[in-house]
Structure 1
Amino acid sequence: MRSFILICCLLFGVQQLHAQISNRLNSFGSGGGGSSKMTRDTAKHTHDVDTITITYRHLGEPTDFRLDSSIADFNGSFLRLPANYVFLGNNGSPARSITFAPRMQSGFDAGFHSFDAYGFSHENARIYNSNRPYTEMLYMVGSQKEQQLGVMHTQNRTDRFNFGFEYQKIYAPGYFRAQTAAHDIYRLTSRFISKNQRYNATLSYFYNKDQNGENGGIKREEDLTNSRYKQRQTLDVNLGNSATTTSSLFSTTIPVKTAYGRSGFLLMQSYDWGKGDTIHVNDTTDYYKFDPLFRVQYTFKYSNDDYRFTDGQPDTTFYTKHYGWAFNGDTVAARHNWRTLSNDFSLIQFPIRGNLAHFINVGARYDNISGTFLDSKISFNNLALHGEYRNKTRNKLWDFSAKGEFYVAGQNIGDYNVSGMLSRYLNETLGNIHLSFSNVNREASYVYKYFSSTYDSWYNSTLGKENITQLQFAADNRKLKYNFAVNYFIIGNYTYFKDYYQSAQAPAVFNLLQVIVSKHFRAGHYNWYADFAFQQVHGDGRINIPTLWTRHRLAYENRLFNNLNLMIGIEAKYNTSYYADDYSPVTGQFVYQTTQKVQYYFPDLAAYVHFRIKSFSAFIRGENLNTFFSKNNFAAPLYPYNNFSFRLGIRWWFIN
């Protein structure tokens, strides 16, 4: 309750601060990158008094996006965790996509991705452009002291300089013993353009601090139906039974935990040659417009990724059973630390004046990578050549790209990634269609080749390069309100963990078919949002996926009193039974297994009331309603989802 009052005071303070700022700031010239994915904006942030134009781009792409202020999807607009992700029962716990999504990037990869869904990266960095200062506040309180907060601010200090700052906090003690999650993630972005518009500089910095309590799952599934354990904290778990966790929103001590510290700094600078014109607007106003024809670009990147596991009071039975160690009860610890220094030099040509989405890019990148473990160190280099041709026509009807990356020297020599995409907007009725192809040949992530702990270190030298081909047909239609995608994968040397500590590769090439459909049906004020994913493996794939995953949101939506957008409904998620991946706490990896199926005893149910009044949104939800009349559903063997929980979330933005 005190935390809620603190946030309300903070919101009021920000509002008063903005009331004191009177200068309206002009937007800077367009440039930089965007995203190839379409984002729908359901509110243009237009209010009775304040009007704002705010867009953002992603690095390396030329498409502008608007902020999504929709209240329809709690996962997407508030939690920012995709609905098709499964996580180990508690908000902030290790998560993975239930729809198959292999890593399609060549080059070095450390392999620790269990918390990627919650964090910031250069790939999802937003380079903002705003004609007025904009601040967004987010706060959620839930059962079992769960809290989540966030703040975002961006503004153009001049028409040539913008900066943006974001912070998010996840704190979730959970219903079961020793599963507390506490994440702090930060992001800073900035963009500068010189007065003559020839020099551009873009900065991206992020820091993700992830802490997760590891309980190894509950000991016995049948305990969930035993009346003695209605209070879930009394259930025995595999790790941390006797340990004491002390935690609060801003101070957490977790005795058995995984801790990730991931940071990245990127500075991209470019200088352009081209043609400029002074455009006469009126008798007192002239506007200078510069169109680049040739660009020299230099990008510096530095990253520090630290993975640690610590158990100061280990359970002998668990480690002996799953890791096969000659266990003596001493502290279990593991650490991988990776530092990467990267320098990229590129030459870019714009064949058609005024169209920055039509370009040819060729360049080279040199990476220096060093790793530190408990018992050793390693250092190596990589040299990669890359190129891209992109042509998004001015009328936005056609979009074509072809790009490739080839590692010609270093640790990852022979890695490559080639892809092509063709997109066509047909008309309002038929919407967009997309065809794409991608093929990646990559060395297995390093965690599959080597891992070190206080009890054992191993190296797998038998792994060949993974080769993954993806063919995709996709269509999206705003008028008919559907999205449709068919993916076909051809996969060789697929790498996986065959048990809690050892890696292996699939014995043969296999194929996977995936069909994903989303459709919005509407009848008056009644709406049905339906999502389906069908997946089928052909061959010995050594991957665990359900044949069918689906989510449905049935809602009554209406606009009342001119300003109130109201949404009341029920949400249900379900997937067919399958051998869900297990999870290894020491390595932080999901593990392939074929001994225990995970099934939904009843669909996950949630009831909700969402509403927005101008710049204020609220989300009131009762989740896991299915636990009132059925056993908890499971995310993985012995990892049940939480009991019924209540959540209240608010999202508020301010404009000056």
Structure 2
Amino acid sequence: MRLVKRPFFGLLFLLMGYTLHAQTGTLRTRNLGNQSSTQGNAIAYDRNGRPMRNSGGNDSLKTRNSLADSITIFYRYFDSTRNRTIDSSINDFYTRFPLPYQYQSLGNYGTAAQSLLFTPFMRPGFDAGFHAYDIYQFTIQQTKFYQTTRPYTELAYLLGSKAEQLINVLHTQNRKDNFNFSLEYRFSNAPGNVKNQNASHNNFRFTSQYKSPNRKYGLYFIFLSNKAASSENGGLQNVKRLDSLSLNDPYELETRLGRSGAARRNPFNTGVNTGNIYKESTLFIRHFYDFGKKDSLVTDSTTYKIFYPRFRLEHTLRYSSNSYQFIDNAVDSLLYEQYFNRTVLDRVNIDYNDRWTNIVNQFSMLTFPDKNNQSQFIKAGIALQNLSGRFDSILRKSTYNIYALGEYRNRTKNQVWDIEARGELYLNGWNAGDYEAWISMKRLLGKKLGYLNVGFHNVNRSPSFIFDPLSRFPIDNRTNFGKENVVRLFANYENPKNGLRISGNYYVVNNYIYFDSFFLAKQEATLFNVFHVSLEKKFKLSRYWNWYTEIHFQQKTGQAPVNIPSLLTRNRIAFEGNFFTNLFLSTGLEIRYHTPYKADGYSPFVGRYFYQNAETISNRPDINLFLHFRIKSFKGFVRFENLNTLNTSKGFEFSKLNMVSSVYPSLGLWTRVGVWWNFIN
């Protein structure tokens, strides 16, 4: 047993103490331009990043500024030019919960997760091959860069049944108007509903951005760290015993992996005796120097210095260290033989481990055709990637990639068109011949008609390195798999005024690589298609009653080795409104349902879901009762989930569990109580 590392809790308590003196104010958002002010009474920043005005008098009877406790804050996602505002909505719990409703885990939060929608891996170049815990991780692509006039902090704590907990801390502030930093930490731990299923995740992210006073030089910095530690039990030995539990607790049942016999849940246990441990540390630096035109804007009492970039030199450095490990310190050779058809030595520990170091240097040039539109640019560059792998005390692998890249973006000033096109081509190295092509065109049809977006995405990629003979993970039939090619055609129609969104995806897949058992991989030589269409709509039933519906329909062609439900739907009927002065309420019923289908099996030894065509699961709809509310900056979430597990044949007992797959049960009645609280300092 190991305790959560003290430095992380120290960080949490430090920020909580820091926010005790915070005054909750008004949250305002706006867009800030690429400009600086030289007026005598302009807003400046003190040593704590708080805005202050130059003193214009010390009259103690001066009327207090009603906006003194307000904040202007917005953010941009990494590699985006679009400003976004903080989300204060409360009607959808999954905008804050890391595991989306479209995903399902192995029955416990934090375990290996898979989407119920067809989502092939579409990234060219090197890939180690381990993605079962991607949904829980912090990523470069999801990183937010903030701009704020006041220090901003958000604290979140979620407590679930069986000692499940989730902690999230976010803090950002501008030390000056041209320098911002933010840090975010997330910890989760879930002991599990059955034995040997405890899962914990530690995620940390630090960002900063800087622009020189003359606006010519800029730097973006990201450091992130992810650790996933998930015990693996291989599923239940006898699923039928779920119907005859003596204590109405699946924890009493024996599993196929891990220590057998008596066991108890421990909310402080983050160690793994049998399971997967994935670690990632990434350092990302992007800096640039602009050439362009200086200008100024003069008002009655203010002069704003403005700089229009026309040409940019950009360098990006990315350093990543990854470790993927499966261990079993409680090997039982009889269980391996009986359930996995695998011969191993009894009581001899198992340790599969792949470690990679990845260094990418990217050099790019950008040009801005319209000085008044920084959302229009053309980019061209080249990158060198150096890879180093370690597989045990002896085996090593060093290789490289050279790839070219290009990009064009244009979000027109009148916001009618939003065009994006980009591509990558691997010219030489380990993944030579890989490529990616993406184009997306979005148009405003009218204020009442909404937006239409159509696009094309094509990826040609080499097999992941887990299929290479050097990998220590157990795959019995490693062969020379060919490159996988996936084409995606997509269209989206969105009408915000009517709360309507319709989306369509059409996939064409060739040379699809997949697992079809615990230790065997295959490649489907026959080209196949998958069609997916979805609809999201908000219906106003009455003044306070709303119905939110989301429907996904998907269909594959022929005998494609893909297991997906034909229909997935989620419906929420909620009583919502603004009551009293500061109380916002959303309470009601949430129902998720998918049609019966042959759910994938799961191999804990390689961290992969695998295709099976023998057993079909047919579940009751998931029914959740929720109460969400917001009072100023305080948001509360109270949920009673999986009411569908009520077993009337045994009285008032919640023991009719749905199944994730043939040997993994889902959760019974599950309560979650969470708070999200933001502070302005």
- TM-score, reference length from structure 2: 0.89
Q: Could you say if the C-alpha distance between residues 179 and 48 of structure 1 is closer, same or farther in structure 2, counting changes exceeding 3 Å? A: farther
Query: How far 1:249 sits from its partner (Å)?
Result: 5.6
Superposed CA deviations along residues 447-491 of structure 1, whole A, max 9, x for unmatched, are 23347448x565723211011000011111111101111100100
Larger radius of gyration: 2
Whether the 8 Å contact between 1:508 and 1:540 is mirrored in structure 2 is no
Q: Deviations over 1:209-264 (max 9, x none)?
A: 11111111111221111142512210111112427878766652331121110111
1:643 pairs with 2:668: yes
Kindly state the Cα deviation for residue 86 of structure 1 after the two structures are TM-superposed.
1.1
Q: C-alpha offsets along residues 364-387 of structure 1, whole Å, 9 cap, x if unaligned?
A: 011001111136221110000010
The aligned amino acid for 1:446 is F
**2:137 equivalent to 1:119:** yes
Residue 292 of structure 1: aligned partner: 309
Q: For the residues of structure 1 that align with 2:463 and 2:562, how far apart are their CA atoms?
A: 16
Asked if 1:626 is matched to 2:605, the reply is: no
Which of 315, 318, 328 is residue 332 of structure 2 equivalent to? 315
* Cα deviation 1:496-527 (Å, max 9, x = unaligned): 01211121111300011000111111122111
Does the Cα contact within 8 Å between 1:167 and 1:185 map onto a contact in 2?
Answer: yes
Deviations 1:402-426 (A, max 9, x none): 2111001001000010111110011
Q: Which amino acid aligns with 2:304?
A: Y
Aligned to 1:143: 161
* Structure 1 residue 319 displacement after superposition: 2.4
**Post-superposition offset of 1:429:** 1.7
Alignment partners' CA distance in 2, 1:25 and 1:100 = 36
The match for 1:597 is: 616
Aligned pairs for 1:191-590 (under 5 A) are 191-228=209-246, 230-242=248-260, 252-283=270-301, 285-321=302-338, 323-329=340-346, 330-374=348-392, 376-450=395-469, 452-453=471-472, 460-523=478-541, 524-590=543-609
Match of 2:204 in 1: 186
Compared CA separation, residues 164 and 450, structure 1 to 2 (3 A): farther
The CA distance in 1 between the partners of 2:12 and 2:389, in whole Å, is 44
* Displacement of 1:50: 3.1
* Distance of aligned partners of 1:378 and 1:6 in 2 relative to their CA distance in 1, 3 Å threshold: closer
- Kindly indicate whether the alpha-carbon contact (under 8 Å) linking 2:354 and 2:389 is maintained by their aligned counterparts in 1: yes
**Whole-angstrom distance in 1 between the partners of 2:98 and 2:140:** 16
**Could you tell me how far apart the structure 2 residues matched to 1:319 and 1:147 are?**
32
**1:282 CA displacement:** 2.9
Say if 1:578 and 1:103 are closer, same or farther in 2 by CA, change over 3 A.
Answer: same
Q: 1:65 to 1:30 in 2, by over 3 A?
A: farther
Aligned counterparts of 1:485 and 1:459: Cα–Cα separation in 2? 39
CA distance in 2, matches of 1:148, 1:83: 17
| 1-structure distance, mates of 2:241, 2:307 | 69
What is the rounded CA distance, in whole Å, between the counterparts of 1:50 and 1:484 in structure 2? 40
8 Å Cα contact 1:371/1:377 also seen in 2: yes
Q: Is the 8 A contact 1:448 1:497 kept in 2?
A: no
Question: Partners of 2:385 and 2:599 in 1: how far apart?
Answer: 36
TM-score normalised by the chain length of structure 1 = 0.92
Find the residue that maps to 1:639 and give its secondary structure: coil
Cα 1:199/1:236, change in 2 over 3 Å: same
Q: Does 1:652 align with 2:652?
A: no
Query: For 2:622 and 2:10, how far apart are their aligned partners in 1?
Result: 33
| Residues in 2 aligned to 1:519 and 1:449: alpha-carbon distance in whole angstroms | 46
Partner of 1:41: none
Match of 2:19 in 1: 15
Structure 1 residue ranges without an equivalent (≥5): 32-46
| Offset of residue 323 of structure 1 | 4.8
1:317 counterpart SS class: helix
Go from structure 1 to structure 2 and tell me whether the alpha carbon gap of 1:157 and 1:27 turns closer, same or farther (over 3 Å shift). farther
Q: Cα 1:450–1:557, aligned 2, differ >3 Å: closer, same or farther?
A: farther
Secondary structure, aligned partner of 2:22 = helix
Aligned partner of 2:105 in structure 1 is 87
Instruction: Please tell me the root mean square deviation across aligned C-alpha atoms, in Å.
Output: 2.5
Per the alignment, residue 165 of structure 1 pairs with 183
Q: Secondary structure at the match of 2:317?
A: strand
Counterpart in the other structure of 1:44: none
Rounded to whole Å, the distance in 2 between the matches of 1:181 and 1:382 is: 35
Identity %: 37
Task: Encode CA deviations 1:172-211: one digit per residue, 9 max, x unaligned.
Answer: 1112111111111000111000010000000011101111
Q: Matches of 1:227 and 1:459 in 2, distance apart?
A: 40
| Contact 2:24–2:69 (CA under 8 A) maintained in structure 1 | no
Distance 2:298 2:265 in 1: 62
Task: Identify if the C-alpha distance between structure 1 residues 359 and 452 changes in structure 2 by more than 3 Å, giving closer, same or farther.
Answer: closer
Cα distance in 1 between the residues matched to 2:113 and 2:245: 30
How do residues 53-68 of structure 1 correspond to structure 2 at under 5 angstroms? 53-68=72-87
Flag the 1:250–1:296 CA change in 2: closer, same or farther, 3 A: farther
In 2, the alpha carbon distance for the partners of 1:147 and 1:551 equals 25
Q: 1:288 is matched by which residue type in structure 2? A: K
| Secondary structure in 2 matching 1:569 | strand
Deviation at 1:123, TM superposition (A): 0.9
Q: C-alpha deviations, 1:307-335, integer Å up to 9, x for none?
A: 11111112323422455433211112111
| Pick aligned residue for 2:634 from 616, 619, 643 | 616
Q: Deviations over 1:103-131 (max 9, x none)?
A: 11111111111111111011111111112
- SS of the residue 2:71 aligns to: coil
User: Residue 449 and residue 544 in structure 1: after superposition, are their counterparts in 2 closer, same or farther (change >3 A)?
Assistant: farther
Query: Alignment partner of 1:302: what SS?
Result: strand
Separation in structure 1 between the aligned mates of residue 72 and residue 450 of structure 2, nearest angstrom: 26
CA–CA distance in 2 between the matches of 1:49 and 1:236? 61
Q: 1:243 to 1:405 in 2, by over 3 A?
A: farther
The SS at the match of 1:485 is: strand
Question: Does structure 2 conserve the Cα–Cα contact (< 8 Å) formed by 1:26 and 1:156?
Answer: no
Give how far 1:563 is off.
0.6
**Residues 1:364 and 1:235: Cα distance change in structure 2 (over 3 Å):** same
